[in-house]
A and B are shown apart, each in its own frame.
Chain A
Amino acid sequence: MARMKFLCDAERCIACNGCVTACKNENEVPWGVNRRRVVTLNEGVPGEKSISVACMHCSDAPCMAVCPVDCFYHTEEGVVLHDKDMCIGCGYCFYACPFGAPQFPEAGVFGMRGKMDKCTFCAGGPEKDLSQEEFAKYGSNRLAQGKLPACAEMCSTKALLAGDGNVIADILRDRALKRGKGTEVWGWATAYGKPDHPQQQAPNGAKS
């Protein structure tokens, strides 16, 4: 069984916000709602690290546990989705989520806090697949088109990986082995591995 997950390689993320833009564009999410965002730690300090954060599609999701109207469900491929027709916009899921994934539009049927909106792993929602209704409520359904989430597929440095947890973990493991270093150093060669040809060698310096 596939277990869809996101994985962000902090050694590679350059905080370009391409994933945020790709998500906004693909799903046409309203102003004020950010299904994905980039977080930078130790900003401005050499060796700063950035990661792209959205719903992590937890296997044992706390949002599902606290929802008073039971509007969340897990798809067979391990994606956490919800039914917006049932959501009452109470915000419990926002407090329960350790990643701040649930977002609330500023205007909606419930006054200032509308129905919850979050990353769907580009898997749409409980409406007819690839329909106008599904797109309007939940955004694009790329999984039904045999595609992966737009954020990961658009990532320029391939820092953000999406797919079956086992497959993307193998990709990251492969990278880490090729780098041959841990997280104590940073720079081009750390992120992309050692060059095969001497003429492509990274410039000498403190970076790596």
Chain B
Amino acid sequence: MTKARKLVITVAALAVAAGLAGCGEKDQVIAYHQGKYQGKPDTPPWDNAPSASIYTTSTWTKGDKSSWETAIKSRTQYQNEYTRVE
């Protein structure tokens, strides 16, 4: 392989890498870390047991963020009457 060809391939690879870098999505929600703001710490909602409220119908595992998110997502679907009434 000639030097010129190597250079062309390198430049092309760099151009592709730079182009694809624009497709990435930055996290738009600022992550909350205690100490980043001056106030008191807050407890995430998933750190509460579902039994803490007597009226809730959602169930999740205490401390498990993903199970709480699943519970909230399924509850959100109650707002979609196209999936409720068939």
Contacts and interface: CB of A to CB of B under 8 A. Distances in A.
Interface of A: 1-3, 59-60, 69-78, 81-83, 85-86, 123-130, 141, 143-148, 152-153, 155, 158, 161-164, 167-168, 171, 174-175, 178, 193
A90 to B, nearest CB: 15
B44 A76 contact: yes
Contacts of A168: 76, 79
Of B32, B58, B72, B75, the most chain A CB neighbours within 10 A belong to B72
Main secondary structure of the interface of B (DSSP, over half): loop
B43 interface: yes
Interface stretch (B4-12, B15-23, B49-57): B49-57
Given A147-B75, A163-B76, A73 B45 contact: no
Contact of B41 (A70, A126, A145, A161): A126
Contacts of B1: none
A96 to B, nearest CB: 16
Given A73-B37, A146-B60, 19 more contacts: A2-B69, A3-B29, A59-B29, A70-B37, A72-B37, A73-B36, A74-B30, A77-B69, A126-B42, A144-B52, A145-B53, A145-B58, A147-B75, A148-B72, A158-B80, A162-B79, A163-B79, A164-B69, A167-B73
B2 interface: no
Nearest to B40: A126
Interface residues of B, number: 41
Contacts of B69: 2, 77, 164
A125 B41 CA distance: 9
A208 to B, nearest CB: 18
B49 to A, nearest CB: 10
Most B Cβ at <10 Å: residue of A3, A127, A145, A161: A145
Contacts of A162: 76, 79
Residue in B39, B48, B77 whose Cβ sees the most chain A Cβ within 10 Å: B39
Given A72-B37, A73-B36, A144-B52, A60 B43 contact: no
9 contacts: A69-B38, A76-B31, A130-B52, A144-B45, A145-B56, A146-B60, A146-B72, A164-B69, A171-B79
Contacts of B57: 146
B21 to A, nearest CB: 21
B81 A158 contact: yes
Nearest to A72: B37
B79 A158 contact: yes
B40 A127 contact: yes
B28 to A, nearest CB: 4
A2 B75 CA distance: 14
A125 B82 CA distance: 34
